[in-house]
Amino acid sequence: MFRFQMRATALIIALTASTAAIAQVSCGNDGSGFEAWKSEFSQLASANGVGQAGLQALANASYDQRTINKDRNQTGVRYSLDDFLAIRWSDAYTNQARRMLRDNANLWASIQSTYGVPPEVLLAILGMESGFGANMGDHNTINSILTVAYDCRRADFFIPHAVAALMLVDYGVMSSNSMGAAHGEIGQTQFLPGNVLSYSRDGNGDGRVDMSGMADAMASTANYLAKKGWQPGQGYQEGQPNFAVIEEWNAATVYQQAIALLAARIAS
Ligand SMILES: [Ca+2]
């Protein structure tokens, strides 16, 4: 257990429940109020245990206009499962997942014995989230998570993750230079910072968490699924017990169906 994980769950529960604390922080719809907001936010962060390194990262952060542009351009298009798979997966991905399944047998055995989650499910998630680590995002993580925490649209959702990101700076898991996706997702399976704080694990045994490394990302993802109720040895297709756990990973039905289908394909 990493030192930081002792307090992670308490932080997330406190902050998500504490609408009063969050309501004390203003929000904005463009970058003009960001610097003033950073001062307000540092009070909230400090009160919730963020230390000097995290507060310094906050002071150095800047508004990420590209994050907001992407956020505003999100469309509500609903894909069929076939269209979704055509866009997000390929036979080359299946082959790569099968190769990784063979080449990392010790890692998968260790993860499965510890968390009960079979490797093909983790590999389906890994391919879907980052193309097996090839596409982890080109946004500065501190800037992007603070920008969506400041933005009025979903501030209450992102504020706990922004506090968590600053804590991860304190613990040396992230820095002001860490890179990730547009809404602060990091690493090979695109964890939000609060989930790194709560669920990350050291998969390669080097004594630290690095979500951009495959082994740590896979152990952390397995731990997340285990904590959400994964039942070892039970099925994960629709109608089977572990499909409900895949639903915890991503809210989109088509995504859940894709993970179950691709996992079975990888294992076949
Ligand atoms: Ca590690």
pLDDT in tens, 12-42: 556 655 555 666 789 999 999 999 999 999 9
Q: Coil, helix or strand for 139?
A: strand
Q: What is the CA(174)–ligand 1 centre distance, in A?
A: 13
Give residue-wise pLDDT tens across range 53-72: 999 999 999 999 999 999 99
Alpha-carbon span 223 to 157, nearest angstrom: 22
On the question of pLDDT at 7 being above 80, the answer is no
Q: What is the CA(201)–ligand 1 centre distance, in A?
A: 7
Q: In the predicted model, what is the mean pLDDT of residues 105-109?
A: 97
H or E segment and range at residue 180? strand 179-180
Q: What is the CA(125)–ligand 1 centre distance, in A?
A: 19
Which pLDDT does position 25 carry in this prediction?
87
- What is the total residue count of the chain? 268
Question: All domains of the chain, ordered by start, with CATH?
Answer: 5-72+138-184 (no CATH), 81-136+200-267 (1.10.530.10)
Q: In the predicted model, what is the mean pLDDT of residues 167-177?
A: 95
Q: What is the CA(249)–ligand 1 centre distance, in A?
A: 22
Neighbours of 64 (CB within 10 A): 27
Which pLDDT does position 118 carry in this prediction?
98
Give residue-wise pLDDT tens across range 141-151: 999 999 999 99
Which pLDDT does position 10 carry in this prediction?
59
Answer whether 167's CB lies under 8 Å from 117's CB.
Answer: no
Q: In the predicted model, what is the mean pLDDT of residues 255-265?
A: 97
Q: What is the CA(205)–ligand 1 centre distance, in A?
A: 5
Arithmetic mean of pLDDT over the chain: 93
Q: What is the CA(104)–ligand 1 centre distance, in A?
A: 15
CA–CA distances in Å: residue 198 to residues 51, 132, 185, 193: 18, 23, 14, 9
Which pLDDT does position 75 carry in this prediction?
74
Q: What is the CA(60)–ligand 1 centre distance, in A?
A: 27
Q: pLDDT above 90 covers what percent of the chain?
A: 88
Q: What is the CA(222)–ligand 1 centre distance, in A?
A: 14
Alpha-carbon span 109 to 169, nearest angstrom: 32
Structure pTM? 0.92
Indicate the residue type of 221. Answer: T
Q: Coil, helix or strand for 179?
A: strand
Q: What is the CA(15)–ligand 1 centre distance, in A?
A: 28
Q: What is the CA(212)–ligand 1 centre distance, in A?
A: 10
Helices (H) and strands (E) in the chain, counts: 15, 2
Q: What is the CA(216)–ligand 1 centre distance, in A?
A: 5
Q: Coil, helix or strand for 7?
A: helix
Q: What is the CA(90)–ligand 1 centre distance, in A?
A: 29
Which pLDDT does position 14 carry in this prediction?
60
Alpha-carbon span 202 to 214, nearest angstrom: 10
Q: What is the CA(69)–ligand 1 centre distance, in A?
A: 34
Half-sphere exposure of 69 (CA within 13 A, CB side): 5
Which pLDDT does position 133 carry in this prediction?
98
Q: What is the CA(263)–ligand 1 centre distance, in A?
A: 25
On the question of pLDDT at 2 being above 90, the answer is no
Residue corresponding to tokens 């009063």: 20
